[in-house]
Amino acid sequence: MLKGGFMNSKIKSLIKNLTLEEKVSLCSGSDFWHTKEIERLGIPSVMVSDGPSGLRKQDYEAGENKVNTSIKAVCFPTAVNLAASFDVDTVKKVGEAIGDECQAENVAAILGPGNNIKRSPLCGRNFEYYSEDPYLSGKIAAAFINGVQSKGVGTSLKHFCANNQEYRRNSYDSRIDERTLREIYLKSFEIAVKESKPWTVMCAYNLVNGVQMSENKRILTDILRNEWGFEGLVVSDWGAVRNRVKGIAAGLDLEMPYSYAAYDKLVVDAVKNNELAEEDLDACVERVLEFVYKAIENHKDGVVWDKEEHHILAREIANECIVLLKNENKVLPVRNDEYVLFVGGFAQKPRFQGGGSSHINCVNIDSVLFAVQWNSKVKYEEGFSASNDSYDEVKFNRAVKAAQNADKVVVFAGLPDLYECEGYDRGHLNLPKVQNDLIDAIAKVNPHVIVVLENGSPVTMPWIDKVEGILETYLCGEGVGVATARALYGKINPSGRLPETFPLRLEDNPAYIDFSGDVTKIEYREGIFEGYRYYTKRNMPVLFPFGYGLSYSTFTYGKMTVETDEMTDDETLEVSVDVINESDIPGKEVVQLYVEADIPNSRIRRAARELKGFSKVSLDPGERKTVTFILDKSSFAYYDTDINDWYVEGGDYVIEICKNARDVITSRTVKVMPKKPKKPVYDENSVYKDIMEDPNAAKIAKPYFDKYLFKDPDTSSSDEVATEAFGSDPEIFLRDTTLRNVVNMSFGKITYEDMRELIDKLNK
């Protein structure tokens, strides 16, 4: 933020001049969306607003207290769609457009992006989050933030952290082991913080490992600021504050919204009674003021934004986010001269955004029926409502009847608004029964059925084998209808990829047992095996894997090259692969790079593979392009809780170029060694195997082990029964034996003192 220089000294002098009460008051909002003004010292107030799939700024003309009435704005594709684009340039464009809107509307920061991991497909806010993969989430979040902030407008990276469900969202405790927290739930934030420096981070409602996030000094200060170098403001989620005194000590700078000074007196008293250090309060005040003045300094008068232009942009962005899931017998694209029946209320009333604080008040919504008005070969039957799951037999039967005479039928299915929303989780993965039944019934009378889905997170598809085509449009923003029509008719070539696994059944999800339930402590027992890390490790069948998506083009891959076969973890590695468009249709391929540790004796549980690079390339017919990735330590490391740091275990790593998390196209193995190998620490509980696998330790320990009873003719048993019981190879039995057990069983040949001496030597 504004470090050094004039502004820094201005802020310091303001802090000196503020009374204790004024300082405390600055640490909470003045209303739902504004920071406080202190007229006496000329400290201005700035406004923040929701989003982030568009601008959701309160419309004050509707009334001061109408906090949920917002001005008209453009709704871009939701977070899940942006992640499905697998394209940082696309996402940055959305950020830039929203940045312009914020400038024009004098909004200092937009409250997003949401960067929580989709632990379960049931989370009611999954449409607001990017992915089940922290690397993809972090990169997409960083692109969004960089886009917005390039316009001199701040962002609020939320909800920090481990806020993965809506059930009891203000009070549940995410119980997560340290490695999992670091590798999965903090990782998406770490990448975004380091690569885009958000102006603000929003602390989540929940607790993490017993500590309310709004009081979590370890995460808000030790990790976020001290380890990752975050210099911005930490703001509470709306109503996330429980104990403001603890919050200030933990580094929670700004409480939102205004809590009617509920906590101000407590904070003032705490400072007066020396229960809260005034420096901690000053640090929060300084960051609030830095944010306010940064916003003021970056504000540009006279920025205008054109709703029509942004509407067109919303369509362009939507083009990048649609995922083609099935295309049997080349049922897609549909030809203009084919007689096509559109079925389903969503064709008329699309579902293109989710409910809750991200809901945009749109001006202009493209339905797919509007988008195909030019084509007289398209007929429409509602079949079922988009608003609920009720049956209407007349409509149902009319749709089935009309389907008999069509060349192709496109069913627009999806989740009605009530099925997924901020504030509550889903109970199942099913589409409304009426929709599944109608798809079934239509597939019986017409062999060429295409299903277009409008949903914020995975659904089951009991009819999957009965239809020829499936397009997943998620919640694609207000341009959804035009983008979908373009994809159906081949005006664009679908190029999105799933940013999450679609399981076959809810019960397959690794968080299934521990997710929600009637408890406040939510154990993340699946650990690092979250999302595709679990399905791939178990080699389980899924409906569609992470990273999956088809194209109308056919892509092939050339040889993969790696810069070297051996490296240390302080070096980088360049990996290249050629992609070729073998078809006569221009298209975009998403090249995905995963890394798999191939270390047979490893003591570290690793996922089968982890995404470490992706790149979307546009290829004309017959065109070949080389895609290059640079890998570094973070591509190979795991979080080691012995040393509390990232560590690369020495050994082989397979670099895989994949179509998706399950489909490896080509791979190369590289040996990566740690530059500074971790020094093993030995004690009484160290086992024979570990010591003997460490060449230095083995040399020192061998003479001791040689004295062990089975190797000593005096104590070795020649009894056949004993051999039967313990085997004829003493080493097998010895493998997992601790040093102290060796002492017990050596009949005095190895003493306790010998063991201490050995441990000392080993640790030297």
One-letter amino acid for residue 11 of the chain: I
- Determine if 237 is a binding residue for ligand BGC (CB under 6 A): yes
Q: By C-beta, is 357 or 551 nearer to ligand BGC?
A: 357
Contact assessment for residue 583 and residue 648, using Cβ atoms and an 8 Å cutoff: no
Q: Residue 111: which H helix or E strand, with range? A: strand 109-111
Q: By C-beta, is 326 or 359 nearer to ligand BGC?
A: 359
Site string for ligand BGC, 191-230 (x = CB under 6 A): ----------------------------------------
- Determine if 759 is a binding residue for ligand BGC (CB under 6 A): no
**Least distance to ligand BGC, CB of residue 322, Å:** 26
Q: By C-beta, is 357 or 367 nearer to ligand BGC?
A: 357
Euclidean distance between CA atoms 531 and 117, whole angstroms: 9
Distant-in-sequence, close-in-space partners of 154: CB < 8 Å, separation ≥ 6? 48, 108, 109, 110, 148, 198, 199, 200, 232, 291, 294, 295
Contact assessment for residue 559 and residue 529, using Cβ atoms and an 8 Å cutoff: no
Residue 565, token pair as written in the block: 């076969």
Q: By C-beta, is 238 or 291 nearer to ligand BGC?
A: 238
> Residue 237 catalytic?
yes
Q: By C-beta, is 50 or 133 nearer to ligand BGC?
A: 50
- Determine if 50 is a binding residue for ligand BGC (CB under 6 A): yes
Contact assessment for residue 623 and residue 594, using Cβ atoms and an 8 Å cutoff: no
* Site size for ligand BGC (CB under 6 A): 6
Q: Residue 380: which H helix or E strand, with range? A: strand 378-381
**Least distance to ligand BGC, CB of residue 214, Å:** 13
Q: By C-beta, is 212 or 551 nearer to ligand BGC?
A: 212
What is the CB neighbour count within 10 angstroms for residue 111?
27
**Least distance to ligand BGC, CB of residue 32, Å:** 8
**Least distance to ligand BGC, CB of residue 357, Å:** 4
- Subset of residues 99 to 128 that bind ligand BGC, contact rule: CB under 6 A: 111
Looking at 70-127, list the stretches that DSSP marks H as alpha helix, in order from N- to C-terminal side.
79-84, 88-104
**CA gyration radius for the chain?**
30
Q: Which residues pair with 91 in a beta bridge?
A: none
Q: According to CB under 6 A, which one of 23, 57, 139, 158 is a site residue for ligand BGC?
A: 158
- Subset of residues 159 to 198 that bind ligand BGC, contact rule: CB under 6 A: none
Q: By C-beta, is 203 or 691 nearer to ligand BGC?
A: 203
Catalytic residue among 237, 253, 366, 425: 237
Euclidean distance between CA atoms 59 and 65, whole angstroms: 10
Looking at 498-616, list the stretches that DSSP marks H as alpha helix, in order from N- to C-terminal side.
532-537
- DSSP string computed for 694-758: SHHHHHHHHHHHHTSGGG-TTT----HHHHHHH-S-HHHHHTT-BHHHHHHHTTTSS-HHHHHHH
Euclidean distance between CA atoms 639 and 184, whole angstroms: 10
Enumerate binding residues for ligand BGC (CB under 6 A): 50, 111, 158, 237-238, 357
Which residue numbers are catalytic? 237
